[in-house]
Chains A and B, each alone.
Chain A
Amino acid sequence: MIHQSLFVYSGYRYFKLCILLIIASVIAYAVHAPVDGPNGGTWLGYTLGGLGAFIILLLMWFGIRKRSYKSDMGKVQGWLSAHVYLGLALIVIATLHAGFQVGWNIHTLAYVLMFIVIISGIFGVYAYLRYPELMTKNRRGNTLELILIEMSELDRECREAAAQLTDEINKCILDCSENTKIGGSICQQLSGKNANCATQAALNKVSELNKLLPREMAADASRLMTLLGKKHELVQRARRDVQYKAIMDIWLYFHVPISFALLAALTAHVVSIFFYW
């Protein structure tokens, strides 16, 4: 197996590094017993705080590295591997830095924002682990574009099959080919469903109308149903494809902006501490 996921990257290099960091921080925290209880203002507090701030900057620099296409400063995969593990280690480091103190202040705001970023990141990791494979399976070797082409081909065949049938059925088929939407609003994309699906509607209606047809039309009618069924299946697959992609993308719309908010809160936190010192 030559392909390697970002978790095992380079023999778990960053996983090991983070475990070491966490163990060191926990031991230091356990051993250290300041007079006024653990907090950010002790030597250990400053050390852990400095380390945490450095890690946050490093994690944010990932965005730069990812876009520096000519850079030869390590592979992006290595950066992401470090990004994931260091981000998780931050939970421990930042919490120990705060000495479990929370309050209604700028410091806790930074802490909370950090947590939101990390949680969205964890969701991202989950999405990256789960959806790529589902997406491949769902596509069955095709691209979304090919699925859409196949759909319009089926539309054409449906129109042909319906040509000898009633006007009402033809209207349904026309509606199905013109009004079936893939994608749509964020909710529709994320759910992979469409309450007003024209193909589903056509399928239901045509099956009703078919019952009223004279016997000589039965062959055409059943062919039409098969075609509609195929199309419905494709529509569902296309929507699922869009859904998976949306899920893999959506969390970044929280992860990135909130990390900038975190950067602002962090700056305020650091400045205020030195200001009031």
Chain B
Amino acid sequence: MADFKIAIIGSGPGGMSAAAHAAELGLSHVLLESTDHLSDTIFKYQKGKHVMDEPQVLPLRSPLDFSAGTREHILETWNTQVAGHNTNVKYNTEVTAISGEKGNFSIETKSGETFTAEFVVMGIGLQGNLRKLGVEGEDLDMVQYQLDDPDEYADETIVVIGAGDAAIENALALTKQNTVIIVNRKDEFSRAKQGNEDGINKAIDTGVITPYYFANTVKVEQFDEALGSGEIGKIVLSTKNGEAQVNCHRIIARLGAIAPRRFVQSCGIEFPSDDPAAVPALTDQYESNVPGLYIVGALAGYPLIKSAMNQGYEVIEFIEGNDVEPADEPLLKAKFNSFSVRNDNMSVSSVLEMITTNVPLLSGLTTLQLREFMIDSDMRTPAEGEIIFERNDFTNTFYSIVNGEVEVQINPQDPSQRISLSKGAFFGEMSLISGHRRSATILAGKNCVLIETPRRSMNKTISSVESVKRVIDEAFLMRALQAKIAPNTSIEKLQSVISTATLQNFKAGEELFREGDDGDTLHLVRAGSLTVSKTVGGKEVVLSYLPAGNYVGEMALFGDSTRSATIRAAVATETICLDGDAFRKLADEDEDVRKRVQEVIDSRQQVNVQMEDNSDSGTIISFLVEQGLGEATDVLLIDESLCVRCDNCEKACAETHYGTSRLDREAGPTFASLHVPTSCRHCEHPHCMQDCPPDAIHRAENGEVYIANNCIGCGNCQRNCPYGVIQMALVSKKQKSGLFSWLLTGAGIAPGGHDATAAKKDPDAKKMAVKCDMCKDISGGPSCVRACPTGAAIRVNPGEFMSVTNLENY
């Protein structure tokens, strides 16, 4: 007879919740904790840390309470409640080995004490093994991987490495008394919780924290003697602009953790792969490959407190032989309803299993990640022939094919030319990545079942699941090469070329290469845009502007390894690089490649000749690119030689948008007679969308970036917009009196006039962010353009506009 029915190892949220539930049910149990307090991971959080309770839609199911609050409050609640439930906790008991089998496990501890139990629940978390920098100097005294109390440090220069919640929270807390620098491998903090993302972006915007983006640590060095200013060492970073050195007092790296794998494996538990980030494979009931041994919490792939607590509760129910539904079950059930009704009332878990089996892309997601992913996504079962999206639509959701197939119209001139994508494939990644219009029309085929995932959730998944990112990047490469360079090359041949292709990032203004440089790499623009310039008469003259989808360096095909022009990123740009050999190999295998490239070269030469005659156009392109038009999809341009300054455009905008004009005609720069007023450009990757808590900013089918009514007025978008085109306004939807009643009786306010007090008087008025929506709800197009009496105001796509023929008369 075992000492206990259930032994729970580790008192984190999962283990603690399991123990408390066992106690509640009167089961014989023991909770073994290696330290002298509950939940060491949370105990080690910073003092006063605000702990969040995401995902908010998920209900909590545990005998212990948990809601967002300070670390102290949460720990105190748990201490009281664990005691209140008469939970049997053994502190300072570190487990060293587990052996035996279901019904008779033997648990050895460091102190030599041995416990026996029928079932074991392991909830030891991941903190046992923090990920280190992996570079020279990672173990120096000045490098730490944890931060207990940020108030311990003052007047230091501290470099925080990481972009997750822990890094952000440390960085923000340290700013109170120190100079803080944050190092991010990417340019966004989208992996973090919303609140943290808001906080760090604000701190960076206001200059409180200095960021290094696209930066990786090269090495850490400690000085023999501290500098006069007190710094004791330096960190060397590789950034897009080359190496950067930062002298500092301290480096805090928060790089997440790796499963304490060796111990877990010694208990007989298997891992699905050698990937250090992998977690053990578990049944739906959290049982490992060792019968009777269950795993909960972060070690099981459930890193969030609330889901771990739910899991602790559920695991006890499972051991007791009760089949309980996961807490998010009702949410998913509702989501899958229309699909499962038609498929013998498939259960949620079988639908999820089907998704994992059928869509390899999503197989790398843990159950929790997949459940979360599905809560954000939609399951669609379109009828055969139904249009999923059309070519040139501006939508940016991502689709995975769970079942059946879809048809892709590959030739816009001939809709009957189609290829099919079937079960397991995905599409929509082109628009997601490049921010461009859809490149093809897609129709539903037979038995089509799709998952449609919004941009934000997909970006989150891409940045948190490495395998998803890899697969999508490869597919993008393949499809981009197919579409732009080698349409007739077989997939197999392309694959061999793609293995040599890499992705490169460039900041706005950064050079890809210089005129006269040696090199034969071909760059295909995946996101962003480029300018091409040449030195004419000792001066650099911009010759053309190339939006995403174009390539440069094509001369390499003909063995020419001297660059004939300077290429610069107009905005932050990502390119696919193909070395010269790979490119020539492609051309050798497909005659068409050579022909197509020759066409591009010919037409470019023509443009260059025209441009050299007309170098003013190049100056205008430079000017427009400086104004950020390189990332715009639709921009308002005013020809000042036609503009009579009547402001009818602004009046029209205000009249059609509840009294607030979203454009400022006079503000904004002018070059020659071309004026770029302060008005939304509907960016390819809208900065405003980056960080909208209610996810209220969307892109409509025709490309309009608009703010929906669920705006909460937080102002994040206004802060994030580099062009200052978003305002916070009190919006009253009360209608003004009509034109004729004003004309005939003088009642109300003149058309185009604005009564600033009207909104204040309206109790239903709402403070929200307002910006140009290109009059998407009004027939006839943007009212600013339609209202311009002289034709001075036009809206254009900069990619099309910035050509020599369009610019020669400004």
Contact = CB atoms under 8 A, between A and B. Distances in A.
B639 A3 contact: yes
B801 interface: yes
A67 B791 contact: no
Interface in A74-93: 75-77, 79-80
Interface string A182-193: 000000000000
B651 interface: yes
Given A69-B751, A70-B655, A143-B667, A76 B788 contact: yes
Interface string B645-679: 10010011001100000000011011101010000
A9 B788 CA distance: 13
Contacts of B779: 72
Range, interface on chain A:
20 to 34
A2 interface: yes
A73 to B, nearest CB: 9
B642 A67 contact: no
Nearest to A72: B780
Contacts of B670: 136, 139, 141
A141 B642 contact: no
B246 interface: no
Nearest to A73: B780
Contacts of A139: 670
A141 B668 CA distance: 9
B350 to A, nearest CB: 52
A135 interface: yes
B806 interface: yes
Given A4-B791, A69-B656, A70-B656, A76 B786 contact: yes
A69 B641 contact: no
A133 B673 contact: yes
Contacts of A67: 739, 751-752
Interface string B773-810: 00000111001011111111010100001000110111
Contact of A248 (B644, B675, B739): B644
B788 A77 contact: yes
A179 B641 CA distance: 33
A34 interface: no
B410 interface: no
A222 interface: no
20 contacts: A1-B806, A1-B808, A3-B794, A3-B810, A4-B791, A5-B790, A64-B743, A70-B655, A71-B780, A72-B786, A76-B648, A76-B786, A76-B788, A77-B789, A80-B789, A132-B642, A136-B641, A136-B670, A141-B669, A248-B644
B643 interface: yes
A248 B794 contact: no
B789 A76 contact: yes
A10 to B, nearest CB: 10
A35 to B, nearest CB: 45
Q: Chain A contact residues: over half helix, strand or loop, or mixed?
A: helix
B656 A80 contact: no
Nearest to A244: B645
Question: Which of B641, B785, B792, B808 has the most chain A CB atoms closer than 10 A to its own CB?
Answer: B641
B579 interface: no
Residue with the greatest number of chain A CB neighbours at <10 A, chosen from B642, B801, B808: B642
A2 B796 contact: yes
Nearest to B809: A1
Nearest to A136: B640
Contacts of A132: 640-645, 792
Given A64-B739, A70-B655, A5 B791 contact: yes
A42 B233 CA distance: 103
A6 interface: yes
Contacts of A133: 640-641, 673
Contacts of B645: 132, 135, 245, 248
A77 B655 contact: no
Contacts of B792: 3, 132
Contacts of A145: 666
Contacts of B655: 69-70
B668 to A, nearest CB: 9
Given A141-B670, A245-B645, A248-B645, A3 B778 contact: no
Which of B644, B743, B785 is most buried by chain A, counting CB atoms within 10 A of its CB?
B644
A183 B809 CA distance: 34
A66 interface: yes
Interface string B742-760: 0100000001100000000
Nearest to A63: B743
A46 interface: no
A226 interface: no
Given A1-B806, A3-B791, A69-B652, 14 more contacts: A1-B805, A1-B808, A1-B809, A66-B787, A67-B739, A70-B655, A72-B778, A72-B779, A76-B787, A132-B641, A132-B642, A135-B640, A136-B670, A143-B667
A169 B597 CA distance: 72
A9 B669 contact: no
Contacts of B675: 136
Given A3-B791, A3-B794, A132-B645, A69 B783 contact: yes
Interface-centre pick from A1, A69, A135 (highest chain B CB count, 10 A): A69
Contacts of B651: 69
B237 to A, nearest CB: 39
Nearest to A143: B666
A164 interface: no
A66 B789 contact: yes
Contacts of A128: 644, 790
Interface in A27-65: 64
Nearest to A241: B645
Ordered nearest first, which 3 A-B pairs have the shortest CB separation? A72-B780, A69-B655, A3-B639
A80 B646 CA distance: 14
Given A135-B640, A143-B667, A69 B787 contact: yes
A71 B648 CA distance: 14
A68 interface: yes
A76 B809 CA distance: 24
A71 B809 CA distance: 32
Contacts of B743: 64
A55 B517 CA distance: 67
A241 to B, nearest CB: 10
A231 B691 CA distance: 45
A146 to B, nearest CB: 10
Given A132-B644, A136-B641, A6 B739 contact: no
A76 B794 CA distance: 13
B419 to A, nearest CB: 36
A172 to B, nearest CB: 33
Contacts of B796: 2
A80 B783 contact: no
Contact of A3 (B642, B648, B752, B783): B642
A76 B790 CA distance: 8
Contacts of A75: 785-786, 788
B792 to A, nearest CB: 7
Given A135-B640, A135-B645, A143-B666, A2 B806 contact: yes
A1 B779 CA distance: 26
Contacts of A136: 640-641, 670, 673, 675
A131 B675 CA distance: 16
B739 A80 contact: no
A136 B673 CA distance: 7
Nearest to B655: A69
B111 to A, nearest CB: 76
B299 to A, nearest CB: 61
B580 to A, nearest CB: 38
Contacts of B786: 72, 75-76
A244 B669 CA distance: 20
| Most chain B beta carbons < 10 A, residue from A132, A141, A143 | A132
Contacts of B637: 3
Contacts of A77: 788-791
Contacts of A245: 645
Contacts of A80: 789-790
A160 to B, nearest CB: 30
A133 B643 CA distance: 8
